[in-house]
A and B are shown apart, each in its own frame.
Chain A
Amino acid sequence: MTAAPTAYDKAATDATRGVAVELTGLHRSYGPVQALDDLNLRLAPGELVALLGPSGCGKTTALRCLAGLEDPDSGRIEVGGLDLTRVPTNKRDLGMVFQAYSLFPHMTARQNVEFGLQLRRQSSQQRRARAAEMLDLVGLSTQADRFAHQMSGGQQQRVALARALAIEPQVLLLDEPLSALDAKVRVQLRDEIRRIQLEVGTTTLFVTHDQEEALAVADRVGVMRSGRLEQIAAPEELYSRPVNDFVADFVGVTNRLPGDADAKSATVLGGSVPLLVGSATSGPVTVLVRPEHLVVHADPNGPDAVTSVSFLGAHGRVIVGLAAGGQAIVQVPSSAVSNYPPGTRVTVRPTGEAALAVSART
């Protein structure tokens, strides 16, 4: 029997440019802190993988090891089939965009973009042409003669991206490049990064602590905890089929609701929920249910009561105090938000989407 193609296989098949990257058994510790603990990660040629996780989970260390800015204690780093584990950073042929403030302040945007090309001994004519092309790609062709202090944070990050891509690196590394920007610019630039990455086809590793960012741009998202990959999958799979409660909690909003498991389903809030692979299958369990997988109905005789409501633009959230204890967050259409003022008696039921259940003790 042939296994179904994974997101990695799909990316590998789609790739026209870019090289494969493989991190195998990486370990890195700082004194007693284990930053990377047997990390294994593969990136298909041309794929964009986002590493997501809380602070200190090891995602930045993994990226810095790939860049050569940190040395792993053990393990192997391969790029395009070549072992780069002990190769110095400046010989790795990588492009990197940092969190912020990485532009050389004494150079204009154009000079920044030309810098890597100058090191590759390109003629000034070639450099200028390539810099113009790259600045055009990131939408900053009119800002070529500006210095970093004359540009906004978003523009600076665009130039940093142009500089990293100008040298046509084998791998592009993005180290939380959007975290210092305000929300609107972040979304704009996020989409632009994805557009450009698809256009140039460079294999890309994107480190972020922002789940929305990771889910929006990546072919696959890896969730890390304590130096290990908890799960790596396509965004929709990660969201709808988390392998454990850490991933479910970290990616998206999750209700932890008490239930009773019976083989392949569990009873939750008076309704039945099919259980995902890897769930606890018997006895009292905690079922991890997404807010959009719950429905709320106004019911004067209902056991539960609305405690608060929030309008979030495209949709709204109703927080319901449950008679059985605890609370449930329910997603509703934004037009329905006004139907649930605090104090409204309601009933909450699952929609029947599959969910993960963990033993009630965890």
Chain B
Amino acid sequence: MRPSGALLGVVPFFAYVTVFLLIPALVVVIGAFVSGGRPTLGNIRALGEPAVTSALWHSVVLSVVTAVVGAVLGAILAYAVSTARPNGVLKRFVTSLCGVLAQFGGVILAFAFLATFSAQGFLTRLLGVGGGGLWLYEWDKGLMLVYLYFQVPLMLIVFLPAVEGLRPQWREATETLGGSTALYWRKVAGPILLPSFIGALLLLFTNAFSAYATAAALVSQGAPLLPLQIGGTFTSEVVLGQEGVGKAMALAMVVVVAIVMTAYAVLDRRASKWLVR
């Protein structure tokens, strides 16, 4: 019978979602309210501790800055790429490259930056630039630069379809009605692209907010970001029994990401009505 056959096809998907998303999320949610096998609000209260609030603040600042800068640079790059020949070599090369770079994070990326900008890095030694390279290990300088390395290509990948969805007729209609190029961007293309832009910006925010491996590889002093704090609660040999607090912090992250992604979904739905992709 057709309906049951169709359902059979999505079983692997639901199995995957259950094992890798629902169960871990459930473990986090329940674990945030349990300590030593007993229900408690202590883990949630621990979110108010200065170390946690400071890490949350740093995570938000890092995510906002790299999302905004990455979104602006990526959008400009996406527009430039959209003007290239549709199936030309340049366009295919840049989009393929960005597809790879957007996923290029973690230890490899951290090592690449260390090899280039650290005290013993290539540019620092050879050209004498980089200011001694110590800034690279700071969350508000080094990490921002390193995060931009994957934020900009990610923006290009996410935003390019929206830019390419702008129809030439809209520009031409604006011109025939008496509008200039600047007016077209201000009154037509800008407002049409805005939901997609903000949606992509939110995606970049969550991308930076939840990144762990790159920060862990680069930052060795303390845990200035929320993901590092969470990691610390599970791996620390100094303070034991903090798993519940770690789960509470993870829950806080899940809530932030869920809010942001809901906003993204709403904006994306609006944009998809306007832009044919």
Residues of A within 8 A of B178 (CB): 90-91, 93, 116, 119-120, 167
Which of B169, B180, B276 is A90 in contact with, Cβ under 8 Å? B180
Residues of A within 8 A of B188 (CB): 104, 106
CA distance A81 to B60 in the complex (A): 63
Contact mask for chain A residues 59-75; partner B; CB cutoff 8 A; 1 contact, 0 none: 00000000111000000
Q: Knowing A116-B177, A116-B178, A163-B177 touch, does A96 contact B274 (C-beta < 8 A)?
A: no
Interface membership of A211, Cβ < 8 A? no
Instruction: Judge whether A90 and B173 touch: CB under 8 Å.
Output: no
Distance of B65 from chain A, by nearest CB (Å) = 29
Residues of B within 8 A of A98 (CB): 169, 172-173
Which of A89, A99, A106 is B175 in contact with, Cβ under 8 Å? A89
Interface centre among A89, A93, A160, A163 (most CB of B within 10 A): A89
Interface membership of B273, Cβ < 8 A? yes
Contact mask for chain B residues 170-196; partner A; CB cutoff 8 A; 1 contact, 0 none: 101111111110010001100110000
Instruction: Judge whether A90 and B179 touch: CB under 8 Å.
Output: yes
Residues of B within 8 A of A167 (CB): 177-178
Contact mask for chain A residues 71-89; partner B; CB cutoff 8 A; 1 contact, 0 none: 0000000000000000011
Query: What is the interface residue range for chain B against chain A?
Result: 20 to 34
CB proximity to A under 8 Å, residues B49-76: none
Q: Knowing A90-B178, A90-B179, A119-B179 touch, does A104 contact B173 (C-beta < 8 A)?
A: yes
Instruction: Judge whether A102 and B169 touch: CB under 8 Å.
Output: yes
Contact mask for chain A residues 172-183; partner B; CB cutoff 8 A; 1 contact, 0 none: 010000000000
Instruction: Judge whether A96 and B192 touch: CB under 8 Å.
Output: no
Residues of A within 8 A of B174 (CB): 90, 115
Interface membership of A101, Cβ < 8 A? yes
Interface membership of B167, Cβ < 8 A? yes
Distance of A95 from chain B, by nearest CB (Å) = 7
Instruction: Judge whether A106 and B176 touch: CB under 8 Å.
Output: no
Interface centre among A95, A96, A163 (most CB of B within 10 A): A96
CA distance A173 to B170 in the complex (A): 15
Distance of B164 from chain A, by nearest CB (Å) = 14
Contact mask for chain A residues 93-128; partner B; CB cutoff 8 A; 1 contact, 0 none: 111101111101110000000011001100000000
Instruction: Judge whether A96 and B167 touch: CB under 8 Å.
Output: no
Q: Knowing A106-B192, A119-B183, A149-B274 touch, does A95 contact B176 (C-beta < 8 A)?
A: yes
Distance of A21 from chain B, by nearest CB (Å) = 15
Closest to B169 in A: A102
Having A96-B176, A119-B178, one finds 17 other A-B pairs with CB under 8 Å, namely A67-B176, A90-B177, A90-B179, A91-B178, A93-B178, A95-B177, A100-B169, A101-B169, A104-B173, A106-B188, A106-B192, A115-B177, A116-B178, A119-B183, A149-B273, A167-B178, A173-B176
8 tightest A-B CB contacts, nearest first: A116-B177, A105-B274, A102-B169, A89-B175, A96-B176, A119-B178, A98-B169, A102-B173
Question: Which A residues are within 8 Å of any B CB, using their own CB?
Answer: 67-69, 88-96, 98-102, 104-106, 115-116, 119-120, 147, 149, 160, 163-164, 167, 173
